[in-house]
Structure 1
Amino acid sequence: MQAFAALLDALSYQPARNAKLRLIETYLRETPDPDRGWALAALTSGLDFPAAKPALLRGFGEDKIGAELFHLSYDYVGDLAETLSLIWETDPNAGPPPTLGEVVDTLQTATKMQTPAILKRWLDSLDATGRWALLKLLTGALRVGVSARLAKQAVANIGNQPVDAVEEIWHGLTPPYRPLFDWLLHDAPRPSSNAGGAFLPPMLANAIERAELDALDPAHFRAEWKWDGIRVQVASSGDVKRLYSRAGEDVSAAFPDIIEAIDFEGVFDGELLVRRDETVAPFNDLQQRLNRKVVTPKMLKDHPAHIRLYDVLWLEGEDLRALSFDQRRARLEAWNAEKPRARFDVSPLVVFTDWAHLAQLREQMTSDGIEGLMLKRGDSAYLAGRPKGPWFKWKRDPMLVDCVLMYAQRGHGKRSSFYSDFTFGCWREAAGKRELAPVGKAYFGFTDEELRWLDKWVRDHTTNRFGPVREVAPELVLEIAFDGIARSTRHKSGLAMRFPRINRIRTDKPAAEADTIDNLLRLLGTAGVENPAESAYVTAP
């Protein structure tokens, strides 16, 4: 456990990507099985300890120093693991600290009643850094600047393999990944990929602007709408039926209606949407289905899931990724024509003559179910990662609205000392009075310098406190950029923004001149046009 704690501590202080890679590689080479496998699982969010949740750990802190003092400390520090690790003291009589493997093995078999005593004994035996690492492991919130992809890159590097080779077999493996390390370090056979039912590394697009298009030949490219859902892969082989997110996370459990509809073998690239009456619903409807462990019959009925297919990567035992986009598209359309399926359809190609024509079509498309265009070279193979040249995304311009800052809360991890989560609102008339109604929350879009300025402004203009939240004087205007807007019963304003971020700090504008809820409702009317793409652009060039 101490070696894993040292790794997390070093990663948390190291901003450089390549340096993080070297730290992980060194750990994986030098640490024996099974600890290195469990560490890799932790870095890729592959561990879960149901009996050791944050509520239990907060209870430890309250018992240790009293509820009020603990919550004041937690509010000041901003991180549960760091707070608890600092207020706890090492007991020299507690025995040796546990290994990482011991922690995982013990908690996987311990009951809910046994877990508190086990955790307290470990906390007693570890130093402050070890306690912090243990608590981070338990909560699953490592926040050390390491993505699952970076961890997989590190494990690929120790065996001199491309990261895509690891990605292709990843979902056939389980922690602590002994066959993976045997292959990479000891010349054992490569683990089976079960490619027809496994996640395949996706191909990603580069952003492009209108002015850059003139350097490209429009005859070489195909266009399709960039639907406003989440990118997924549908994979099926034999009895294995899976739905994966773009990052390779298995999200099948949240979408049993999609899994039940799979009656084919292959791997397809597409967009997960909610679709009703032939119309794509706003992204907010899809959010009701995401990250759910239990999906009720009412949820299945009210928010029916749908996959709009972009590409086919593997079909009936054949790997198609080396074929051109035009060839894969022809295979996809032929496959779909053989047997149309209720929860699957093919994303239509957008017919255009030149870039000016495509720009016009883009401007005319105001549907809230579409966030822009995808441009794909007709001769492009399906290449993992983000190669330069073959695929581009041309997102529509964001909506902008001026809002008033209402509340602020400290961030987490490196931002735990700053007020970096901002709730903002717009004006409305209520009971004959003009008041602010919250319309969204943003925690990015600003520079480090702007964050420091905002943090100081919040501290200087606080008017009330509600636990970790500060209410501020309604004086600061923030220009908010967002990609869409939809009605929502979960928000006081009745509206929900898609990807809100702070675009500008408007110190030049009085708060009284900020936008109103009526302004947002007018945007909703613009964004809520039915999807003409459902019928207008269905013919391939």
Structure 2
Amino acid sequence: MLFADVVAASAAVAATRSRTAKATAIADLLRRADGDEVRPVTAWLAGDPLQGRVGVGWRTLGRLAHDPAVAPQLTVPDVDRALTELAGTTGTGSAARREALLEQLFTAATADEQRFLVRLLTGELRQGALEGVVLDAIAAAADVPAAAVRRAFMLSGSLADTAATALDGGTTALAAVHLQVGRPVRPMLAGPGSSLDAVLADLGDDVTVEHKLDGARIQVHRDGDAVRVWTRALREVTDGVPELVAQVRSLPCRTAVLDGETLALDDDGRPRAFQDTMSRFGSAADETVLLSPFFFDLLHLDGRDLLDEPLSVRLDALAELLAREEHAALRMPGVRRPTPEQAAEVLDGALAAGHEGVVVKALDAPYAAGRRGRAWQKVKPVHTLDLVVLGAEWGYGRRSGKLSNIHLGARDPDGGGPVMVGKTFKGMTDELLDWQTATFPDLAREQHEWGVLLDPELVVEVALDGAQRSPRYPGGVALRFARVLRYRPDRSPADADTLDAVRALLAGG
């Protein structure tokens, strides 16, 4: 298959807002791909090279994107091999060798192919909502049930592997994909609830109400003495969190997969600032900050997979695992089948302890990874959203010379790029303004006199009073009184809230 065919399919996907049309274009391409081409084609259309980030910046690529080939000649294997060689080039003199490899690749590429490569290698093609479209396309191309594809993806964590499995072996091969201790599972997510009363009315009495912590999501796998820890984005952080490893290693089991959150606590047991928790996951980790784990789900225990069991069964197994007195503090606080009054007490207790709110979960629900469904709903007293930063404007007055007013985008549920829903300069400290001013130019895809337009890489959490209808923005909705709470380095644009979540905050909506 020619690389130009992939570029053309990507352009067709970008040219339509129809989810069905996007999936059809991708499915048509996958049907034409040979066996060894399926994995790279799938990864590219989802915006992620198989090789991951290869460490090439805009400046280098900008120098190379010239004198394109007149006619397409690159094949999919050609490009995949080039990216593999590029990712493996390290050590003394590697910068020059990497630039030579890139120059060879770009010289053989047409103008359209060069533009695609620039966007692919800088992460600009990465659109989280497109993941769901690609899964639909895989199901259509392989003529298999979409549910089978989604389950295999949940368990493997790889779109490329899921596509290759579906197209090579169909439903039988997909069904053979199982949870594997040591391979992270995509986490189940909670959708926003408007109020505790509304969520309880929606889900009924057969629920558990648990604390919603202001921490970092973790998934911990144990296999004998080997313990490994991943973040919400499935980035392994085992070496940086020895206290979490030690606590899970002390549990009375041989194998386990635990889901939970971790955060730093002060001497009084109250949560420290979110930044303190996240300081443990950076390149310069602050080892003086100790993390405490709180587990709320159990996906596997001693050879038994629990994913398909109702939450009530998983919680029983978790309670038994953490039954010893020395392990009781590892359990997320909550109450099963509470009365409305008891549920309100859990929420009040969470807020009094310094946490964000509660999560209400249906006890009959299996573990549905990677989805924000009705089965789990989070309730916070203040509306908050995770949005993508699309740009920033230069400030004036006291903020002159600083990038201040940020442009906010919600994730397009139909697979397009983030949709702008508002701007804000509220809630920013001087330190945050300095950080934005120093950081944003390196992420800029366009620079103007008024400010910068950014690649969709950063996620910021904002508080807001609600939403209102607005013809000013393409999604027809705008934020009301949005203010910055913090940036979320633990989340990617694929984790941002959708345009539908913003619309759900419309008065009477």
TM-score by length of structure 1 reads 0.62
Counterpart of 2:294, as a letter, is: R
Which 5+ residue runs of structure 1 have no aligned equivalent?
Answer: 65-83, 401-409, 413-419, 426-433, 455-465, 473-496, 506-514, 521-541
Q: Give yes or no for the alignment of 1:170 onto 2:156.
A: yes
> 2-side partners of 1:445 and 1:51: how far apart?
27
> 2-side partners of 1:502 and 1:48: how far apart?
42
Q: CA deviation at 1:58?
A: 0.8
How has the CA–CA distance of structure 1 residues 208 and 287 changed in structure 2, closer, same or farther, with 3 Å as cutoff? same
Q: Give yes or no for the alignment of 1:443 onto 2:444.
A: no
Residue 101 of structure 1 aligns with which residue? Answer: 80
Match of 2:68 among 82, 85, 90: 90
DSSP 3-state at the match of 2:96: coil
Counterpart of 1:198, as a letter, is: R
After the TM superposition, which residues 228-377 of structure 1 pair with which residues of structure 2 at under 5 Å, given as runs?
A: 228-238=214-224, 241-246=227-232, 248-252=234-238, 255=241, 257-259=243-245, 261-263=247-249, 264=253, 265-277=255-267, 278-290=269-281, 292=282, 294-296=283-285, 299-302=286-289, 304-338=290-324, 340=326, 345-350=330-335, 354-355=339-340, 358-359=343-344, 362=347, 365-366=350-351, 369-377=354-362
Q: Is 1:224–1:347's contact at 8 Å kept on the other side of the alignment?
A: yes
Q: CA deviation at 1:444?
A: 2.0
After the TM superposition, which residues 501-540 of structure 1 pair with which residues of structure 2 at under 5 Å, given as runs?
A: none
After the TM superposition, which residues 456-467 of structure 1 pair with which residues of structure 2 at under 5 Å, given as runs?
A: none
DSSP 3-state at the match of 1:166: helix
Q: Is 2:82–2:101's contact at 8 Å kept on the other side of the alignment?
A: no
Counterpart of 2:43, as a letter, is: A
DSSP 3-state at the match of 1:289: helix
Residue 127 of structure 1 aligns with which residue? Answer: 110
Residue 58 of structure 1 aligns with which residue? Answer: 59
> 1-side partners of 2:366 and 2:18: how far apart?
32
Match of 1:47 among 41, 45, 50: 50
Counterpart of 2:219, as a letter, is: Q
Match of 2:392 among 405, 408, 421: 421
Which 5+ residue runs of structure 2 have no aligned equivalent?
Answer: 411-417, 426-439, 442-446, 452-459, 469-480, 486-509
Q: CA deviation at 1:89?
A: 2.4
How has the CA–CA distance of structure 1 residues 422 and 349 changed in structure 2, closer, same or farther, with 3 Å as cutoff? farther
Counterpart of 2:392, as a letter, is: D
Match of 1:13 among 12, 15, 24: 15
Tell me the alpha carbon deviations over residues 32-85 of structure 1, each in whole angstroms, 9 at most, x when there is no partner. Answer: 23232113234263534666510xx41464xx5xxxxxxxxxxxxxxxxxxx74
DSSP 3-state at the match of 2:13: helix
DSSP 3-state at the match of 1:370: coil
- Cα RMSD after superposing both structures: 4.6
> 1-side partners of 2:7 and 2:403: how far apart?
40
Residue 397 of structure 1 aligns with which residue? Answer: 382
Q: Is 1:41–1:176's contact at 8 Å kept on the other side of the alignment?
A: no
DSSP 3-state at the match of 1:142: coil
> 2-side partners of 1:152 and 1:450: how far apart?
27
Tell me the alpha carbon deviations over residues 445-495 of structure 1, each in whole angstroms, 9 at most, x when there is no partner. Answer: 7997976999xxxxxxxxxxx9737569xxxxxxxxxxxxxxxxxxxxxxx
How has the CA–CA distance of structure 1 residues 383 and 435 changed in structure 2, closer, same or farther, with 3 Å as cutoff? closer
Q: Is 1:313–1:321's contact at 8 Å kept on the other side of the alignment?
A: yes
Tell me the alpha carbon deviations over residues 340-370 of structure 1, each in whole angstroms, 9 at most, x when there is no partner. Answer: 459x711111489643564465357545852
How has the CA–CA distance of structure 1 residues 358 and 50 changed in structure 2, closer, same or farther, with 3 Å as cutoff? closer
Counterpart of 2:116, as a letter, is: A
Percent identical residues? 22
Q: Is 1:201–1:385's contact at 8 Å kept on the other side of the alignment?
A: yes
Counterpart of 2:29, as a letter, is: Y
TM-score by length of structure 2 reads 0.66
Residue 413 of structure 2 aligns with which residue? Answer: none
Q: Give yes or no for the alignment of 1:499 onto 2:500.
A: no
How has the CA–CA distance of structure 1 residues 124 and 383 changed in structure 2, closer, same or farther, with 3 Å as cutoff? closer
How has the CA–CA distance of structure 1 residues 38 and 371 changed in structure 2, closer, same or farther, with 3 Å as cutoff? same
Q: Give yes or no for the alignment of 1:26 onto 2:28.
A: yes
How has the CA–CA distance of structure 1 residues 439 and 359 changed in structure 2, closer, same or farther, with 3 Å as cutoff? farther
> 2-side partners of 1:34 and 1:217: how far apart?
45
> 2-side partners of 1:28 and 1:423: how far apart?
44
Q: CA deviation at 1:309?
A: 0.5
> 2-side partners of 1:383 and 1:448: how far apart?
26
Q: CA deviation at 1:391?
A: 3.2
Tell me the alpha carbon deviations over residues 226-254 of structure 1, each in whole angstroms, 9 at most, x when there is no partner. Answer: 11223332223357644334454545465
Q: Is 2:157–2:185's contact at 8 Å kept on the other side of the alignment?
A: no
The structure with more radius of gyration: 1
After the TM superposition, which segments of 4 or more aligned residues of structure 1 sit over 6 Å from their partners? Answer: 172-177, 437-441, 445-450, 501-505
Equivalences, count: 416
Q: CA deviation at 1:4?
A: 2.2
DSSP 3-state at the match of 1:288: helix
